[in-house]
Amino acid sequence: MKGLIFNLFEEVVRREYGDDTWEDVLENADVDGAYSSLGSYPDAEITKLISAAASALQLEPQVVFRRLGRHALPLLAGKYPQFFERHKTTRTFLLSLNDVIHAEVRKIYPGAEVPEFDYDTSSPDVLVMGYASPRRLCALAQGFTEGAAAHFGEEVVFEQPQCMNRGDQKCVFQISFKKRAQ
């Protein structure tokens, strides 16, 4: 897992729950905590941090992932505006994940293991995405999606009829958007 994710987690926790909460999480997680955004660290460390945060915040780990995604997205938009500026809707943004965003990520962060999504665009109202990474971070993906919708001023309904954590072959997201009433 690239150090960037760890950095984002730290920043989100500090902002939403305060510096002390993060320090507590670090101590309870029993990890070193010095993460260079360019470096690579074992997946087990993020799992430990999420667990520690879950117990500190009295939330389920999946919920923590979802909140991480939701709150980290604006930070990413600030760091890499070029991935957001060309889009006007969440739908097109999501569609650019494989070929644009993750392709660039691999260039900047050599060795990054990014997931590849499959899309079903047959319905203009509902975007169906398939996700099959063994990391099973569908909750993080949901958080990112909700964060992106907020960024583009849309409301999103995120349904997951299939989930690997529930024993399915892969996760399937059904995402419908509507513009938030001004």
Helix (H) or strand (E) holding 156: strand 154-162
- Binding map of another protein across residues 3-42, x = CB under 8 A, - = no contact: x---------------xx--x--------xxxxxxxx---
Least separation in angstroms between residue 180's CB and another protein is 38
Nearest to another protein of 34, 181 (CB atom): 34
Cβ neighbours of residue 179 under 8 Å, at least 6 residues apart?
153, 154, 155
Q: How far is CA 87 from CA 8, 91, 100, 151, in A?
A: 23, 9, 12, 11
> For another protein, how many residues bind (rule: CB under 8 A)?
13
d(CA 131, CA 26): 30
For the record, the structure tokens of 147 come out as 């964060």
What length does the chain have?
A: 182
Cα angle at 99 between 163 and 91, to 5 degrees?
A: 60
Nearest to another protein of 14, 87 (CB atom): 14
Least separation in angstroms between residue 15's CB and another protein is 15
Nearest to another protein of 27, 60 (CB atom): 27
Verify binding: residue 107, another protein, rule CB under 8 A: no
Give the chain's radius of gyration (CA, Å).
16
- Binding map of another protein across residues 52-91, x = CB under 8 A, - = no contact: ----------------------------------------
Nearest to another protein of 110, 134 (CB atom): 110
Nearest to another protein of 38, 44 (CB atom): 38
The residue with tokens 């072959």 is 169
d(CA 49, CA 130): 27
Residues engaged in binding another protein (CB under 8 A): 3, 19-20, 23, 32-39, 110
